[in-house]
Amino acid sequence: MAARRPIYLDHHSTTPVAPEVLDAMLPYFREDFGNAASESHSFGWRAAAAVDAARERLAAALGARPDEIFFTSGATESNNLAILGAARAGRRRRDHVVTVATEHPSVLDPCSQLEREGFSVTLLPVDDQGLIDLSELADILGERSALVSVMAANNEIGVLQPIEEIADLCRERGVLFHSDAAQAAGKLPLRVDRVEADLLSLSGHKIYGPKGVGALYVRRRRPRIRLEPLLFGGGHEGGLRSGTLPVPLIVGMAAALDLCLAELEGEAKRLRGLAEGLLARLQGELSGVKLNGHPDLRLPGNVNLTFEGVDGDRLLLSLADIAISSGSACSSASPKPSHVLAALGHSEALSRASLRFGLGRGTSAEDIEWAARRVIDEVRAQRSAGSP
């Protein structure tokens, strides 16, 4: 095949900043560069006004109130603040936390930290398609249960958990519900006035916004959620998250979410069609190609596949002209196979033979055709050579 530009199919890892988002950010790096906490001059006033406007836009997009949006450095910090902050704030009365075996490390690791602090943590299993059993969750919840954390959309296999039903169940039992929505926001309808989550984590760079900024929705009414802060000094964000606010990034995140929501329905339909075409092409020309996760309840642009009879690391290296991944970018430094695929029942060999394709705004039908052809050729070459 003739050489061509590298194709980016790793949109679950990160996304390029949209031109409109960059344009919105630039003035706050240059002319309006003030500190939003500087209350004695116009530079600070303009910065503070930009933050207030961004907070209002995010709140409107989520069906929340502006005073329920708190800015962080990203979804990892938001998840840590939600889980550690909520559990520690209520530990005198409740000391049991529930999460899922397929969660992101930024959820699993704080839960492990809580175990070291004396909390009881339950890891819910998933079925072979990545979904939890709601009846099992209901059976686990008790008087000591403080928090349930279940991600809206899985970052590796794209599976959508039934977060509305989970939220309703938690509310019935008087248990707080947190959801890592970093992958779902901007790709699916997501409003806290419909999904009654108490805590919701967001990330800027997953929605064509800048890296280094995120947000945490914290319910402030019926009930008012209390969190213990992780960072101290300055009392920013109502004392919940101290630190000078990155005004350009905050402005960019709000602009990015607005842009995603404006084209959500059409883009979801387009990506779903491309993903289905990629899957059909690969399964039509290769045997032993299995889709990981639920076939329908998944992110529109997610295709996670296991290729039997190949070495996943070698396959990934051979496809240097296509940006894809073998799992979460946040755990790529780990030599271990995907914990998500292991939770689905995959052997280590099959987990290592799996690749994640993340389609996004810049993905075209021509990109999918090229990528499919390259994958087909490389898988056939490895199988012919007797790999692994």
Q: What positions carry a catalytic annotation?
A: 330
From first CA to last CA, the distance across the chain in angstroms is 24
Separation between Cα atoms, residue 270 and residue 300, nearest integer Å: 8
Tokens representing residue 152 in the block: 């809206």
Phi, psi of 134 (to 5 degrees): -60, -35
Contacting residues for 307 by C-beta, under 8 A, at least 6 apart = 286, 288, 289, 315, 353, 354, 355, 379
Are 214 and 72 in contact, with CB atoms under 8 Å apart? yes
Tally of CA atoms within 13 A in the half-sphere of 267 that contains its CB? 18
3-state secondary structure of 166: helix
Separation between Cα atoms, residue 185 and residue 206, nearest integer Å: 8
